Amino acid sequence: MRHNHSHQPVATIHSHQHHIGWNNAIPPVRTVAPGDILEFECLDPSCGQIQPDWTAADLAKLDFGKINPTLGPIAIEGALPGDAVRVTLLDFKPSGWGWTANIPGFGLLADQFKEPALHIWKYDPVTLAPAMFSGLAAVPLKPFCGTIGLAPAEPGVHSVVPPRRVGGNMDIRDLSVGSELFLPVEVVDGLFSIGDPHAAQGDGEVCGTAIGTQHVVTLKLDLVKEAHLKSPRFRTPGPVARHLDEKGYDVTTGIAPDLMEGVRHAVMNMIDLLTNRHNISAIQAYMLCSVCADLRISEVVDMPNWVVSLYFPRVVLD
């Protein structure tokens, strides 16, 4: 999973050089030329609030005004509206510990899981061997950053929580080592920022958090003139689920006339399957789905019902 390269960063962006939310008036912390490589000392998604000794009760003191800090912004010389910034992800050096939380009021099934829950993960930052979950499960790791984006054209402060046309909190687990992300530029200099590091996540991040961790991320920023992208796109260097494919999957479905309703049913059906088969609690199953199970849209043409499937990798609990 680790990617070695000989490129040396032109600068390190330190953890204190972060901002909360998007605002194109924030002055850049650094100006770079297209092709420059940077290193980012990314804070965990709680901005250093959650500590290894925390329990679920401590989540009550989380300051949501500090959630999802992003490092930057970085000005890219020559970037103009209509261009695209190409981000090549070169390396991730994770810290060795992380957290997954169920935060009341947040997540796909917030109406069903109203109590706070917290799991602290410990993992080997060099080998990235699967991380243990309460002695029940071993989750294969795949480091990436959930929030990567450029400043929006609309003035003022915008929440970091929803993703937008210029990227942001997209939580795409395949934006990992070797992937190239193309982001539409809306303001002069582009103003690039990155944060929200994860050690692993399933497609969907259903409980609202993955394995939040700290990373040092190395990446290259390039410019594609006159790209006129309508939204972000990316390319991966190879297979995307190989770390989970080894033993196949258990798959539950949700069938409904509304995609979000189908998503909820697929996840609830998997929680039922995992709790019945593996003697784990519903909240543990929900959090495990968030860090390693993949939601897929299986069918959107056979009206009036659509099919959503949730793929849970059997290697995790076998």
Q: Is 3 a residue whose pLDDT tops 90?
A: no
Q: What is the pLDDT of residues 283-296, one digit of tens each?
A: 999 999 999 999 99
In contact, 197 and 18? CB cutoff 8 Å: no
213 with 276, same domain: the answer is: no
Question: Residue type at 72?
Answer: G
Question: Does residue 2 fall inside a structural domain?
Answer: no
Q: Is 6 a residue whose pLDDT tops 60?
A: no
In contact, 152 and 43? CB cutoff 8 Å: no
CA 69/CA 152 separation, integer angstroms? 17
298 with 231, same domain: the answer is: no
Question: Does residue 83 fall inside a structural domain?
Answer: yes
296 with 188, same domain: the answer is: no
Q: What is the pLDDT of residues 248-261, one digit of tens each?
A: 999 999 999 999 99
- CA-nearest of 197, 102, 181, 189 to 142 is 197
Phi, psi of 271 (to 5 degrees): -60, -40
Q: CB-hemisphere CA count at 13 Å for 173? A: 28
Q: What is the pLDDT of residues 26-67, one digit of tens each?
A: 999 999 999 999 999 999 999 999 999 999 999 999 999 999
87 with 196, same domain: the answer is: yes
Question: Does residue 82 fall inside a structural domain?
Answer: yes
Q: What is the pLDDT of residues 71-120, one digit of tens each?
A: 999 999 999 999 999 999 999 999 999 999 999 999 999 999 999 999 99
Average predicted confidence (pLDDT) for the chain:
96
- List the domain range (segments joined by +) for residue 42: 11-235
CATH number at residue 262: 3.10.28.20
Domain boundary, last residue among 176, 210, 235:
235
Q: Is 1 a residue whose pLDDT tops 70?
A: no
Q: Is 2 a residue whose pLDDT tops 60?
A: no
Phi, psi of 202 (to 5 degrees): -85, 155
Specify the residue for token string 């395949």.
Answer: 174
Predicted pLDDT at 134: 83
139 with 217, same domain: the answer is: yes
Question: Does residue 240 fall inside a structural domain?
Answer: no
Q: What total of structural domains would you count in the chain? A: 2
Note the Cα 310 to chain centre separation in Å: 18
183 with 275, same domain: the answer is: no
Question: Does residue 4 fall inside a structural domain?
Answer: no
200 with 295, same domain: the answer is: no
In contact, 182 and 86? CB cutoff 8 Å: yes
